[in-house]
Chain A
Amino acid sequence: MMGTELNKRWILTNSQQRDNGSQLLALTAFQDERIVAHWLLPDGQCRENAIAVTAGAFPSLTPVLPQVSWDEREIHDLFGYIPNGHPDLRPLVRTPRWPDAFYPLRSKFEQPIPWLDVEPDNGDQRVTGEGVTIMKVGPTHAGVIESGHFVFSIMGENILHLDLHLFQNHRGVEGHLEGRRLAEVAPLVSRICGADTVSHQVNWASAVEKLAGHTIDQPLAWRRVALLESERILSHLNDLAQIPAGVGFHVAHQQALAMKEKWQRGMHSLFGHRLLFDTVGPGTAAFFDPDALGRLIHDVRRDWQSWRALVLGHHGFQDRMLGVGIVRQADAARLGAQGVVARASGLSFDARSVMPLYQEWKVKPAGEVSGDVAARFKVRLEEVETSWRLLQDVIFEVAKMPLPSFWQPPEDLAGDAVAYTESPHGLNAHVVSLKNGQVVRYHVRSGTFRNWPLLTKAVTGNAVGDFPLINKSFELCYSCSDR
C-alpha cells in the first residue's frame, strides 16, 4: 500500500474503533519509529493498530479523535516525531530549559543534561479584548497540593478560558523505567502516583503474567480485587473530603479526613502500608486477614453512614454543588473522559465490567447525567457503597479459600503487552515492552491525563471563585499525568 493509503487507513480504523464504543487505552510511540494505538473493545478484547513514523512524522489523529491531542503533543515533545495535521502543537511537557535536540525517549543522551539557564514557562493562550483580566495561579500553591500552573482569562467574575500548563511534576518516569530488570520495576511503578498506586501495580503484574502466559489462581485474584477496592475507598474518601472543603463546609471535611485516617491505619495494619505501596507484584499480592478487614469495614462504615446523612441532608452544601462546573456529555465523549468524570456526565463505562479480574463480581457502573459537581460527588458516594459490598463479598470468599500460590516470572521474559485497570481516577493503562528480562519501553496512560482537558470545559462560564470547588470535584492527580 502507498503511504497515503496507510495514513488514511490509520485515521479511518481508529475513528471506527471509537465509533463502535471502544475505549482508547493508549497511543504509544516507540524508539523504532512506530506509533501504536491500543483499544479496549466493548467485549473486553484488546485490539491494536500501528503505523510507521516516516521521515520523522506520522498522521495526526487529533482532528478526528480530539482526545489524543495531548498524547500526540507528548510524543512530539519526548520523541520529536511530528503528528502531521495536529491543530495545536505547543509544547506540553517540554520547557524552554530543554536543550534543542533533547528527546529523552527517542535515544540515549549524555548525563547530566545541559539544561538551559532560563525560566521554564511556555507561552500561554489568553483571551484578549477590553475588560479581560489575566489571572495566573501556580505553579506553587498556597495549600498542600501538587504543582501546576493555570492561566485564567476572566471577565468580571467569569472564567472565559483556562489554559493549563502542567507537567511541573515530570520526573522522567518512563525513561527511568527503561533498562530496568524485572525485579526493579515494581517499586518504581508503585510510586508513579500515591492515589492510584494499586491500580498501577496490578497493571505491571498483569502485563508480566500475560507475557509469561501465567494465569493467577482465584485466591490471588480475589486478594487483588480486595486491594483495588480498598484503594478505591481510600482515594474516594480523600476526594470526598476535599469537595466540602471547597465550599467551607469544614465539619464534613474534617469528618471525612478522620474516616480516611481510620481507613489508612487499617490499611497499614492489614497490608503493611498506609497508602498500599508495594502490595502487588508479578505473581504476588499482599496477604491479609479477611476477618480483620471485615471489622475495619464495619467500624468505618458506621462513621460513613452518619457522614453520608450529614452531607446529603445539608441543603446549603447540596445547593452549592448544583449546576456548577458542568461537563457536557458531548464534550466528555469527544475528549475521552474517564472514571468519575465520565460517569457523572452520562457515559456509563467502568473498566471493572470487562476486567477478567472482576468476572465474578458483575460491577454495574455508577451513573449520573447532570455532569456538575453534585453529580461527581454522588457518583463517588455510590461507588464507595459498591466497594463496601464488593469487599464484603471478597472477604467472605477469601476466608473459605486456601492460600494463594505465588509465582516468579522467568528472568529472560520478552514481548509486548498492554494491561489496564479501573483506578479510582478512571481507566489506567500500561503498555509494556520487554526484551531479555529488561524493560525497553514502558508507557503509562492514566485516567487523569484524559480528564485534565475536561476541567477546562467544566470551568468555562463559571465564577472564578468556584474554581477550587470544581477542581476538587475532579481531584486529578498531577503525578499520574506528569510522570
Chain B
Amino acid sequence: MSRAMKSLQLRHLDAGSCNGCEQELTALTSRYYDLQQYGIDLVASPRHADALVVTGPVTDTMKKPLEKVWQAVPESKWLVALGDCAAGCGVFQEAYASHGGVAKPDLVIAGCPPRPQDILDKLNQFRLGQG
C-alpha cells in the first residue's frame, strides 16, 4: 500500500525513555508546531492508530506490553523509532535490562532527543510517502 496519506494517527509508547523524547513529542501539540494542522495527531488507543511511536531502548519489562500494543494496531501499520534510544543507537542500549531499541522500524527519527521541528518534518514526509 502506498504510504501517501491525508492523515497520520499516532499512538505513543514509552519503552524506557528518559522522558526527553516525550517532552519534545508533547511540544508538537503546542501552538508553535500545532501538529494537527498537518493531519497528524496523537490518539489514545492503538486501535485508532496508523503508526506506533516508540521511545526508549525497550526495557525488558516493557517488551511484552510493546508487543501487545503493536498487535492491537490495525493493518496497515507502521513502527516509528523516536530518538536514539528507540533507534538502537542510544547511550543505554547495552544496559542489562535494555533490549537495544525496536526491531525494524519503518521510520527512524534520530536525535537525543530529536528537536520538535525535526520530528514534525520527518512525520510529515513520512505521511506524504517521502520518508
Interface residues of A (CB under 8 A from B): 95, 97, 104, 109, 111, 113, 115, 119-120, 139-140, 142-147, 167-173, 175-176, 187-188, 191-195, 197, 238, 254, 257-258, 260-261, 264, 268, 274-275, 277, 477-479, 482
Contact = CB atoms under 8 A, between A and B. Distances in A.
Give the top 9 A-B pairs by smallest Cβ distance, nearest first: A194-B20, A142-B44, A176-B95, A172-B96, A172-B95, A172-B97, A257-B30, A194-B19, A171-B95
Contacts of A115: 60, 63
Contacts of A168: 16, 59, 61-62, 65
A111 B119 CA distance: 34
A120 B27 contact: no
Given A142-B44, A257-B30, A195 B59 contact: no
Nearest to A479: B18
Q: Which residue, of B17, B18, B59, has the highest number of chain A Cβ atoms within 10 A?
A: B18
A76 B32 CA distance: 47
8 contacts: A120-B63, A140-B69, A170-B60, A170-B97, A176-B92, A176-B95, A195-B23, A257-B30
Contacts of A95: 60-61
Interface in B72-131: 90-92, 94-98, 112-113, 115-116
A191 B95 CA distance: 13
Contacts of A274: 24, 113, 115
Contacts of B92: 171-173, 176, 188, 191
B19 A146 contact: yes
B44 A191 contact: no
B13 interface: yes
Given A187-B91, A238-B23, A144 B97 contact: no
Interface string B7-20: 00000111111111
A97 B18 CA distance: 23
Contacts of B57: 171
Contact of A254 (B22, B24, B25, B30): B30
B62 A147 contact: yes
Contacts of A478: 14, 19
A171 B32 contact: no
Given A140-B65, A175-B95, A275-B24, 7 more contacts: A168-B61, A171-B92, A187-B91, A188-B92, A195-B19, A238-B23, A482-B16
Contacts of B15: 147
B3 interface: no
Interface string B24-57: 1111011110000000001011000000000011
Nearest to A142: B44
